[in-house]
Chains A and B, each alone.
Chain A
Amino acid sequence: MIEEQQKELEDILAELAENLDITETQDKVIRQSYEAVGNFLAEDGSLLAQYDVEIWPQGSFNLGTIIKPVNEGDDLDIDLVCELKSKEKDWTQHDVKSNVGKRLKQSDLYRKMLDDEGRRCWTLLYRDNAQSTTDKYHMDILPSIVGGGYHTIVRDMFSAKELKESDFDKAAIRITDNKKDDYYISTFPATWLKSNPFGYAKWFELRQQQLKPITRTFANEDVKPLPNKRRLKTVLQRVVQLLKRHRDIMYNGRDDKNDKPISIIITTLAAEAYKGESNMVIAFRNVVNTMTDYIEEREINGRTIKYIANPVNKAENFADKWSENPQRQKNFYEWVNKLKHDMNLISGSKTRILLESNIKDSFGKDVTERTFSRLAEKTHKDRENGNLKMKTTGVLSAIGGTIVATNHNFYGSETDE
């Protein structure tokens, strides 16, 4: 792949990744939906009002790495944290979880949308009010307890330039888990399961390095949408989107798709492997080639297991399921091998038509066709605006070329003359 080809491939992959973004409308609808939930939980008369309850997005929606599902009609998955700043002294995990559920069921709307109770979450299924089948989504609401002064802690964390694990740890929250022995017993959140979605988000932000930091504000209002991050995507966010999409295409329709590599592992390893490259093709290639280097091996109870540490809580192994379910480990390595293979196939494409076909096989037919049509539309627009140039080799581009392609109209007959 010569340098000019690499540049063109970067434009193609950037356009592709942009086409994986959820639409602005979807983004808006989702924000409105979780704000509405947050308001309902916190409003006067709510049984949770006195605990200063708030809803915040976490996971890929918050990290800016969310992608459209492969199949139209498949659900978007939105992860939310439901924070209680305090609780009754005698409340157990079960009380926290069921009081959030109880409040949700007080709404005619949410009662109908509520899915079966999950292990740690309540899930709201957005169906009837979706504008089309492509607008289906569900929201996983994670009840949690945060310490006093939590907002100050998170705000300070987000303004920091560098952080130690112990700094991240201050932003940890406590969550409930109905499979835990003390679910009905323990009233001390300090002994409950720990989670740190905002610490993770900050860590991910720091990994994006060299790029303009994205400003985030945590305000005092009950629910404040984060600034719209669309179109401000960093190279790392785009790389993660491409990786997740490649995984989704690889596992689409497979029997073992429940054992496909999970997003948190992909995101963590990609962020570890990312070295601040500003070129997406180089970044992607580097991440693909080195991401497995960040998987550790640890001796636990006399067994060697794979360990992918949560960067903000090293005691948590994101790959903890691999030892009980070896298929997952196997699938992960299989996926990375296929990524390497596909990346080489793409870089080695002999023609642009074959390049498109190879990208299609890796990232999906519809999104690839949309990508190449959008690029062709841009080229056409550039020419109409007098910005299209041509190098003497014939290569067209809006930048770098000597011969300007003036306006004209392709003509021709539908039958031979």
Chain B
Amino acid sequence: MSKPLSLYTQADMLRRAYHGCEIKISRVCLTWRYNMHPSEWSQSYTVKIRYCRNNKGRWVPSTYINFPRLLPLAEGQNRLPHVYNHEAQEICLYDWREHEWDASMSIAETIVPWASEWLYNYEAWVMTGQWYGGGHYPESEIKKETDKEENK
């Protein structure tokens, strides 16, 4: 992993790229909120990224769709696709097992466009019931294995 970017650098890059975004920063956490739409016809969504250390001391960005509060679901579905937490609308943007993201990467240039892509694919999912964005779903067995790895 290359040199991690500081919280301040991340905040600065986000501020410069996304005019009118809301940023809160403390010693341990960065919170970014921004209204965005993944296509010209899409409604505006409020995306929130919280960038904090997790319980293993690792810097991890967590991404939420804050507005609308209850994202409509595809017909016959009871859960959003590619989320960590359905209730909190916390979305999964990368495969941490593959180390697709680390703290040396700019949130403004990775997590944010990925969030937009998630929204785009979410809309297509509402329309058709299918997810076209690619990616993986952990199988529970594999997940337990990797969790153990992570906890080592």
Query: B42 — which chain A residues lie within 8 A by C-beta?
Result: 351-352, 394
Q: Which listed residue, B40, B92, B114, B121, touches A412 by the CB 8 Å rule?
A: B92
Closest Cβ neighbor of A2 among chain B residues: B40
Check if B101 sits within 8 Å of A408, measured CB to CB.
yes
Check if B108 sits within 8 Å of A403, measured CB to CB.
yes
Within 8 A of A (CB), among B98-144: 98, 100-101, 108-110, 112-114, 116-121, 123-124, 126-128, 130-138, 140, 143
0 or 1 for each of B1-45: is its CB under 8 Å from A? (1 = yes): 000000000000000011100000000000000001111111101
Q: Which listed residue, B113, B123, B131, B136, touches A404 by the CB 8 Å rule?
A: B113
- B84 in contact (CB, < 8 A): yes
A402 to chain B, nearest CB (A): 8
Check if A410 sits within 8 Å of B41, measured CB to CB.
no
A338 to chain B, nearest CB (A): 22
0 or 1 for each of A369-411: is its CB under 8 Å from B? (1 = yes): 1001101110110011000101011111000000111101111
Check if B138 sits within 8 Å of A353, measured CB to CB.
no
Query: A88 — which chain B residues lie within 8 A by C-beta?
Result: none
Query: B43 — which chain A residues lie within 8 A by C-beta?
Result: 350-353
> Given A380-B132, A380-B134, A394-B36 in contact, is the A412-B82 Cβ separation under 8 Å?
yes
Q: Which listed residue, A376, A393, A395, touches B121 by the CB 8 Å rule?
A: A376
The complex places the Cα of A405 from the Cα of B109 at a distance, in Å, of 7
Query: B19 — which chain A residues lie within 8 A by C-beta?
Result: 392
Closest Cβ neighbor of A394 among chain B residues: B36
Check if B132 sits within 8 Å of A379, measured CB to CB.
yes
B148 to chain A, nearest CB (A): 15
- A221 in contact (CB, < 8 A): no
Query: A396 — which chain B residues lie within 8 A by C-beta?
Result: 38-39, 113, 116-117, 120
- B86 in contact (CB, < 8 A): yes
Check if B110 sits within 8 Å of A416, measured CB to CB.
no
Check if A380 sits within 8 Å of B133, measured CB to CB.
yes
Query: B65 — which chain A residues lie within 8 A by C-beta?
Result: none
Within 8 A of A (CB), among B68-101: 72, 79, 81-87, 91-98, 100-101
The complex places the Cα of A375 from the Cα of B40 at a distance, in Å, of 14
> Which of A369, A377, A394, A408 has the most B CB atoms < 10 Å from its CB?
A394
How many contacting A-B pairs (Cβ < 8 A)? 159
> Given A380-B132, A408-B95 in contact, is the A390-B116 Cβ separation under 8 Å?
yes
Query: A388 — which chain B residues lie within 8 A by C-beta?
Result: 113, 117
> Given A392-B17, A392-B19, A393-B37 in contact, is the A409-B134 Cβ separation under 8 Å?
yes
A20 to chain B, nearest CB (A): 18
The complex places the Cα of A380 from the Cα of B135 at a distance, in Å, of 11
- A108 in contact (CB, < 8 A): no
> Given A376-B121, A409-B98, A409-B134 in contact, is the A352-B18 Cβ separation under 8 Å?
no
The complex places the Cα of A200 from the Cα of B133 at a distance, in Å, of 46
The complex places the Cα of A2 from the Cα of B101 at a distance, in Å, of 36
Query: B132 — which chain A residues lie within 8 A by C-beta?
Result: 373, 376-377, 379-380
- A297 in contact (CB, < 8 A): no
Check if B39 sits within 8 Å of A410, measured CB to CB.
no
Check if A353 sits within 8 Å of B36, measured CB to CB.
no
Check if A351 sits within 8 Å of B41, measured CB to CB.
yes
- A166 in contact (CB, < 8 A): no
Check if A416 sits within 8 Å of B85, measured CB to CB.
yes
Check if B128 sits within 8 Å of A408, measured CB to CB.
no
Check if B17 sits within 8 Å of A403, measured CB to CB.
yes
Query: B100 — which chain A residues lie within 8 A by C-beta?
Result: 408-409
Closest Cβ neighbor of B98 among chain A residues: A409
Q: Which listed residue, B37, B40, B133, touches A410 by the CB 8 Å rule?
A: B133
A283 to chain B, nearest CB (A): 19
A386 to chain B, nearest CB (A): 12
Query: B117 — which chain A residues lie within 8 A by C-beta?
Result: 379, 383, 388, 396, 405
0 or 1 for each of A1-28: is its CB under 8 Å from B? (1 = yes): 0101101110000000000000000000
Q: Which listed residue, B45, B91, B121, B127, touches A369 by the CB 8 Å rule?
A: B127
Query: B108 — which chain A residues lie within 8 A by C-beta?
Result: 403
Check if A384 sits within 8 Å of B134, measured CB to CB.
yes
The complex places the Cα of A406 from the Cα of B117 at a distance, in Å, of 11
Query: A406 — which chain B residues lie within 8 A by C-beta?
Result: 109-110, 113
Query: A413 — which chain B residues lie within 8 A by C-beta?
Result: 84, 92, 137-138, 143
Check if A376 sits within 8 Å of B120, measured CB to CB.
yes
Check if B85 sits within 8 Å of A417, measured CB to CB.
yes
What are 16 inter-chain pairs, A to B, with CB distance below 8 A?
A8-B40, A352-B43, A376-B121, A380-B132, A388-B113, A393-B36, A394-B112, A394-B119, A395-B39, A408-B93, A409-B95, A410-B133, A410-B135, A411-B138, A412-B135, A413-B84
Instruction: List residues of chain B with CB under 8 Å of any chain A CB.
Output: 17-19, 36-43, 45, 72, 79, 81-87, 91-98, 100-101, 108-110, 112-114, 116-121, 123-124, 126-128, 130-138, 140, 143
